[in-house]
């Protein structure tokens, strides 16, 4: 996102005073001597409630400091293909720069971030550390499907964040989001996990997300999501809302997914995924299937199918309902996409289909999924 806005937060504290008139020293003394003992005992629960509240709210300053030390700001400059005529007469700049965040994940300088922050593998990358060192970095690998990328910089004596288990995250668990929103370096925001595994057709993505209410804004992309134990549990990625700014609904890629993708990018430079071809699908329930004489099982209704798709060559037709893939029930589009993507390229997958209410099994050869272009 290129548009920047400056937000100024103001806080006002209202204090109410209660005033009284002392009629005489005698009355004041008597009130002191004859005070109801219950007044003192009533104060005890209030104090204990205050102590209980303080115990629930943790001091995360030390964890935030370690998170800042492991976080970097990223500047990526990409050379664009611009027609020389347009560039000469209209003064179009052939370079495009984006800024975002990243997190150091190894002592030898590997950094994890979003692919939309890095851009193309040929982009020129610079990172700025928490102690204001600016160093160049090289792109190790970019995976546009998961929106993850790995870069490497010469960062001696860097202290990476330890990995956390994102599968163990719970709703209302405290988390910190660390990043570079609107170029405000090493910003830390506090919130909770709103949903540990957000799967929703509105998101239309390969993986489930960690939904959080910690404030993230343009520039936070690629930054660390840290739990109260100081562990990396996610990579902040996306904002959901009409304005493109903070709405209390943000999303992070789970650390377990990010770690698997990172390992493949470091070892192989890419992530290979399976495909059975291009098709348009609609999730239907068992009740909807019965109402439309499509069988009695929930699945994915095939609304449109490319004739050249491997699934079409295997016999899949429009109006079929896909109910299983390699023995796994299929009920959601994102889940189905993951099952296909995780299938080995070249393998033969079993596709279970309901056709006009009757079960059909198709053998589909899994081909390599071609990643989409980098999104900015």
What is the maximal distance between C-alpha atoms in the chain? 101
Rg (CA), the chain: 28
Q: Which of 76, 98, 116, 213 is catalytic?
A: 116
- Cα gap 4→218, rounded to integer Å: 8
Distances in whole angstroms, Cα of residue 285 to Cα of each of 32, 143, 268, 322: 73, 33, 40, 12
Handedness of CA 28, 31, 34, 39 (dihedral sign): negative
Catalytic residue among 71, 221, 275, 320, which? 221
For residue 190, which phi and psi values (nearest 5 degrees)?
A: -115, 140
Q: State the Cα–Cα distance between residues 45 and 63, nearest whole angstrom.
A: 32
- Of 147, 208, 213, 320, the active-site residue reads 147
Q: Are 214 and 189 in contact (CB under 8 A)?
A: yes
In whole angstroms, give the CA distance from residue 103 to residue 293. Answer: 52
**Pairwise CA distance, residues 224 & 108, whole Å:** 18
Is there a catalytic annotation at residue 116? yes
Which alpha helices (DSSP H) does the chain contain, by range? Answer: 25-33, 37-56, 61-69, 84-90, 115-118, 255-268, 286-291, 310-313, 333-342
123 is a catalytic site residue: no
Backbone angles phi, psi at 203, to 5 degrees: -85, -35
Instruction: Pick the closest to residue 143 from 266, 232, 250, 255 (CA basis).
Output: 266
* 361-376: burial string, b at 16+ Cβ within 10 Å, e else: ebebebeebebeebee
CA-nearest of 95, 67, 117 to 218 is 117
Query: Has 221 been annotated as catalytic?
Result: yes
CB 355 within 8 A of CB 317: yes
DSSP state of 183: G
Q: How far is CA 345 from CA 188, 340, 349, 368, in A?
A: 42, 10, 10, 6
Catalytic residues: 116, 147, 221
């Amino acid at each position: 996102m290129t548009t920047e806005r400056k937000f100024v937060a103001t806080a006002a504290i209202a204090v109410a005073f209660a005033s009284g008139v002392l009629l005489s020293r005698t009355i004041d003394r008597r009130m002191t001597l004859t005070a109801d003992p219950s007044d003192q005992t009533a104060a005890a629960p209030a104090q204990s409630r205050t102590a209980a509240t303080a115990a629930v709210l943790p001091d995360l300053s030390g964890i935030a400091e370690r998170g800042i030390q492991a976080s970097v700001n990223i500047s990526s400059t990409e050379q664009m293909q611009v027609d020389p005529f347009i560039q000469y007469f209209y003064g179009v700049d052939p370079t495009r720069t984006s800024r975002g965040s990243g997190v150091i994940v190894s002592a030898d300088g590997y950094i994890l971030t979003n692919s939309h922050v890095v851009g193309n593998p040929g982009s020129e990358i610079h990172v700025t550390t928490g102690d204001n060192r600016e160093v160049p970095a090289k792109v190790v690998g970019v995976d546009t499907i998961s929106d993850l990328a790995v870069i490497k910089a010469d960062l001696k004596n860097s202290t990476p964040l330890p990995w956390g288990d994102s599968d163990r995250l719970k709703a209302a668990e405290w988390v910190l989001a660390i990043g570079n929103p609107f170029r405000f370096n090493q910003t830390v925001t506090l919130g909770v996990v709103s949903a540990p595994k957000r799967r929703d057709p509105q998101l239309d993505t390969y993986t489930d997300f960690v939904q959080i209410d910690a404030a993230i804004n343009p520039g936070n992309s690629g930054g660390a999501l840290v739990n109260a134990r100081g562990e990396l549990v996610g990579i902040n990625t996306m904002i959901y809302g009409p304005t493109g700014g903070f709405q209390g609904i943000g999303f992070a890629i789970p650390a377990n997914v990010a770690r698997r993708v990172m390992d493949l990018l470091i070892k192989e430079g890419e992530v290979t995924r399976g495909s059975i071809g291009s098709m348009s699908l609609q999730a239907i329930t068992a009740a909807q299937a019965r109402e439309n004489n499509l069988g009695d099982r929930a699945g994915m209704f095939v609304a449109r199918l490319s004739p050249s798709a491997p699934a079409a060559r295997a016999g899949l037709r429009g109006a079929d309902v896909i109910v299983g893939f390699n023995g796994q029930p299929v009920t959601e589009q994102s889940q189905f996409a993951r099952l296909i993507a995780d299938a080995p390229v070249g393998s033969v997958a079993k596709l279970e289909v309901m056709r006009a209410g009757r079960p059909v099994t198709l053998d589909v050869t899994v081909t390599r999924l071609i990643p989409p272009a980098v999104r900015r």
